[in-house]
Amino acid sequence: MEEHKENIHTKDVNGKMSNTKEDEKTEPCSRICPEGESAPQVSPSQSSSDFSHPVGVKDVMKKRLKSHYKKQKLMQSSTESSPTDTYYDYICVVDFEATCEEDNPSDFHHEIIEFPMVLINTHTLEIVDSFQEYVKPELNPQLSDFCVKLTGITQKMVEEADVFPAVLQRVVDWLQERELGTKYKYAILTDGAWDMSKFLNIQCRLSKIRYPQFAKKWINIRKSYGNFYKVPRTQTKLSTMLEKLGLKYEGRPHSGLDDSKNIARIALRMLQDGCQLRVNERIHAGQLLSVPSSAPVEGAPAPHSPRSRD
Catalytic residues: 97, 254
Q: How far is CA 292 from the centre of its chain?
A: 16
What is the four-CA torsion angle of 110, 96, 4, 253, rounded to 10 degrees?
Answer: -140
Sign of CA dihedral 198, 203, 208, 211: negative
Question: Element (H or E) spanning 186, and its range?
Answer: strand 186-190
Work out the burial of residue 257: count CB atoms within 10 Å of its CB; fewer than 13 is exposed, 13-18 middle, 19 or more buried. buried
Q: List the Cα angle 94/225/71 in 5-degree steps.
A: 125
Q: Would you say 135 and 159 are in contact if contact means Cβ atoms under 8 Å apart?
A: no
Q: Would you say 292 and 27 are in contact if contact means Cβ atoms under 8 Å apart?
A: yes
DSSP 8-state class, residue 234: G
User: What whole-number distance in Å separates Cα of residue 181 and Cα of residue 100?
Assistant: 33
